[in-house]
Amino acid sequence: MKVGIIMGSKSDWPTMLHAATMLDQFNIAYETKVVSAHRTPQLLADYAQSANERGIKVIIAGAGGAAHLPGMCAAFTSLPVLGVPVKSRALKGMDSLLSIVQMPKGVAVGTLAIGDSGAANAGLLAAQILATSDPELMKKIDAFRQEQTEQVLSHPDPSEE
Ligand code: RP5
């Protein structure tokens, strides 16, 4: 497994599956697991502290509300941690975003957008990080971007079906 996708609750999965789908697109091996900073703090410590020796290169951590998971995960490992703010019912993910993005200097979390786009881009960014030492993967990412560009350029009229 190259990427670990963790989330605070099973209820985060409909969002976090977009990270998994992106990794599938590039044939990158990953694992998915519910690891809660609040409900299973020891599991979080064990997961993050063992990730490097298990071969994980990047961790994607999604959580909602008082979203401590990405920051606490980053505190337990020097692997890159990408944080996904899950859209919460009460505050629409602004709480999640602010909880994840405002890391104090010295422990880094790369924060993505709220919700599905953020999860998909976390998968993409994880792929890009892995591609810095994998030329074949870099080619796949270049092709993905080229296809996206061509898709836009070949349909310039927004009113067409
Ligand atoms: C967080 O609390 C989770 O990441 C989730 O987004 C939120 C709500 O969790 P559930 O009450 O749905 O389990 O820890």
CA distance 101 to 108: 9
Q: What's the CA angle centered on 127, arms 111 and 9, to 5 degrees?
A: 50
Query: Residue 95 has which token pair?
Result: 């709480």
Write out the chain's pLDDT in tens, 161 residues: 899 999 999 999 999 999 999 999 999 999 999 999 999 999 999 999 999 999 999 999 999 999 999 999 999 999 999 999 999 999 999 999 999 999 999 999 999 999 999 999 999 999 999 999 999 999 999 999 999 999 999 999 999 87
For 51, other C-beta atoms within 10 Å of its C-beta total 23
Of 36, 54, 53, the C-alpha closest to 45 is 36
Relative to the CA of 11, which ligand 1 atom is closest?
12
Range of the domain at 69: 3-134
Residues at CB less than 6 angstroms from ligand 1: 7-9, 11-12, 36, 38, 63-65, 86
Distance 6 CA to ligand 1 centre (A): 12
How high is the ipTM of this complex? Answer: 0.96
**Does 34 fall in a domain?**
yes
CATH number of the domain at 118, please.
Answer: 3.40.50.1970
**Does 49 fall in a domain?**
yes
**Does 117 fall in a domain?**
yes
Determine contact, residues 59/4, Cβ cutoff 8 Å.
yes
